[in-house]
Amino acid sequence: MFHLTINECDNLSANSIDIRAPADSPNTDGIHIARSNNVRVTDSRISTGDDCVSMGDGNTNVNITKIWCGPGHGISIGSLGKYKEEKDVSGIFVDNCTFTKTNNGLRIKTWAPSTVSTIVSDVTFSNILVDDVENPIVIDQYYCPNNLCSHQVRKKNDFIGESDIEISGVKFVNIKGSSESKVAVDVQCSKKKPCKNIEFVALNLTTKATGQPTTASCSNADHKFIDPSVQVPSMCS
């Protein structure tokens, strides 16, 4: 399970943490933060078989800076929506972090269907370097690790099985480096609660194998690429 859990804490700083686990070790999150306020994690190196840093429900004003992550599954908000008593998430700032050969880089994930109607808002990922990361930017509102969720049999205009979590006000700023996948930005939001105000600024993501520009895929998302002429990718398909 988690190496370090920060749960129901206020005004807590964690600095110079060194966590190491094999890349194939299951469910070995480095640091998990839940239902906490004013938390700062900085100047740390985390190598795991799961998320380097994961943030659960009920968090406010969390700052994650100068994290070196790899191997692992990146830095995640979620998964959210599995349990009935979950609370909103707001004020999450991830800045100046480096990801090397991780499965994911920056990710928000919610269950579909979800058991609550909570909100994720005011999230900024900025000044991030990715090196051979499989999925650099992910919003996944169809998270279901065991492939047994009802959304997998949903009809075209049917909201049954959709996530009821609202994701709003998320910024990806100055995310640069190499992606293992051609699709470096993968935003798949809920039909029932489409994502709102998703912004991409100063992206520069190329494929690791060829150095060619990456692409972006967005669904059910109100999104904007700020000044698309100077960023890669520059639009969603």
Task: Delimit the domains of the chain by residue range.
Answer: 4-230
Would strands 18-20 and 37-47 be described as parallel, antiparallel, or unpaired? parallel
C-alpha dihedral sign at 162, 175, 61, 236: negative
178 and 208 in contact (C-beta within 8 Å)?
yes
Per-residue DSSP letter, 220: S
Distance CA 105, CA 97 (A): 10
Annotated catalytic residues are 50, 73
| Per-residue pLDDT of the chain in tens (237 residues, 90 and over written 9) | 899 999 999 999 999 999 999 999 998 999 999 999 999 999 999 999 999 999 999 999 999 999 999 999 999 999 999 999 999 999 999 999 999 999 999 999 999 989 999 999 999 999 999 999 999 999 999 998 776 665 554 455 556 789 999 999 999 999 999 999 999 999 999 999 999 999 999 999 999 999 999 999 999 999 999 999 999 999 998
Name which CATH class applies to 4-230: mainly beta
Predicted model pTM:
0.95
